[in-house]
């Protein structure tokens, strides 16, 4: 039976086919060779307290339109100035209304690590992410085979990027650990059904070895949720909807960071 994730990935592959016709991997590799090294995002996420990955996010499959965000660079700067450890930029266009141009503008505006948030299914996308300035890429275990996960995880590190390996159940968590992931994101939202289960992080975190950076994703409506995740063992939270839909994203960032520091 086809899932929401299957439909998203099918669209990603169609859009990817267009981009590979326009820009070859060799072109991307030449661009990467001329870039400064990626920022060590994993080291930043290991800092004391609760790190915040603040997301530039216009829409989602579960909620539809969230915010206009005409100026992603300005929003990213607001996040960074308020204390966000890293900025996540959606580049998937069909369901999330993001673009690589958003990534370019955010990269030019901030000095903190930047995550390219997309559905990575080929090596080309990792080269593409680095060529556009990403320091972190997302690898969703549910959309990759073990061989793909291992290969892309290794390539991310070869390119100097941090791989945020996303899981949402016990089997995927074990696969992430077996792949050697040093940063694991536990998503409370099941991408196959879009349902959110707030106990997912607390259920899966015991399966993640000590020393692995643990990122809680989804289910953070504000500071109280972030503080709870911190108590449960999160080193970082990834927050999008609560920041872009609120009236004061800077205040929201400061409150989440402070809540984590006080946990």
Range of the domain at 131: 4-260
**Mean pLDDT along residues 45-60:** 90
Of 166, 172, 214, 241, which residue is the catalytic one?
A: 166
Q: Assess whether pLDDT exceeds 70 at residue 84.
A: yes
Of 55, 128, 172, 241, which residue is the catalytic one?
A: 55
Query: What sections of the chain are H helices per DSSP?
Result: 4-22, 25-33, 41-45, 72-82, 100-109, 123-131, 146-158, 170-178, 200-204, 223-231, 241-244, 249-261
Of 42, 57, 60, 77, which residue is the catalytic one?
A: 57
Active site residue 166: yes
Q: Assess whether pLDDT exceeds 80 at residue 70.
A: no
The pLDDT assigned to 262 comes to 59
Residue 80 and residue 46 in contact, taking contact as beta carbons nearer than 8 Å: no
CATH code where residue 247 lies: 3.20.20.70
Helix axes of 223-231 and 249-261: crossing angle, nearest 10 degrees: 30
**Alpha carbons 175 and 235: distance in angstroms, whole number:** 20
Kindly give, in sequence order, each residue whose CB lies less than 8 Å from that of residue 171, ignoring residues fewer than 6 positions away.
Answer: none
Active site residue 187: yes
**Mean pLDDT along residues 125-141:** 98
- Considering only residues 193 and 254, tell me which one the structure prediction assigns the higher pLDDT: 254
Active site residue 148: no
Active site residue 241: no
**Mean pLDDT along residues 88-112:** 94
**Mean pLDDT along residues 181-193:** 90
**Mean pLDDT along residues 195-204:** 91
Q: Assess whether pLDDT exceeds 80 at residue 2.
A: no
The pLDDT assigned to 63 comes to 73
Active site residue 57: yes
Q: Which of 255, 117, 254 is nearest to 187 (CA)?
A: 117
Q: Determine how β-strand 114-117 pairs with β-strand 136-140.
A: parallel
Of 51, 88, 105, 117, which residue is the catalytic one?
A: 117
What is the pLDDT confidence band of residue 263, given thresholds at 50, 70 and 90?
A: low
Active site residue 190: no
Total domain count, the chain: 1
Active site residue 172: no
Q: What is the pTM of this model?
A: 0.95
């Amino acid at each position: 039976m086809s899932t929401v994730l299957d439909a998203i990935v099918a669209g990603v592959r169609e859009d990817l086919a267009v981009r590979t016709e326009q820009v070859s991997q060799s072109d991307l590799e030449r661009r990467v060779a001329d870039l400064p090294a990626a920022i060590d995002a994993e080291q930043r996420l290991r800092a004391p307290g609760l790190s915040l990955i603040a997301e530039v996010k216009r829409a989602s499959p579960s909620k539809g339109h969230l915010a206009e965000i005409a100026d992603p660079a300005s929003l990213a700067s607001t996040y960074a100035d308020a204390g966000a450890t890293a900025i996540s930029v959606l580049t998937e266009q069909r369901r999330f209304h993001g673009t690589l141009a958003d990534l370019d503008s955010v990269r030019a505006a901030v000095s903190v690590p930047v995550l390219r948030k997309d559905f990575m299914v080929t090596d080309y996308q990792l080269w593409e992410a680095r060529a556009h300035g990403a320091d972190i890429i997302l690898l969703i275990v549910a959309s990759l085979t073990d061989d793909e996960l291992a290969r892309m995880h290794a390539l991310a590190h070869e390119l100097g990027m941090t791989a945020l390996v996303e899981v949402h159940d016990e089997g995927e968590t074990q696969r992430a650990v077996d792949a050697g992931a040093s940063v694991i994101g536990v998503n409370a939202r099941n991408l196959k059904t879009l349902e959110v289960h707030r106990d997912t992080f607390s259920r899966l975190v015991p399966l993640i070895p000590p020393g692995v950076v643990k990122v809680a994703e989804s289910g953070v409506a504000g500071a109280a949720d972030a503080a709870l995740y911190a108590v449960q063992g999160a080193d970082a939270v990834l927050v999008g909807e609560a920041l872009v839909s609120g009236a004061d994203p800077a205040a929201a960032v400061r409150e989440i960071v402070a809540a984590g520091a006080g946990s």
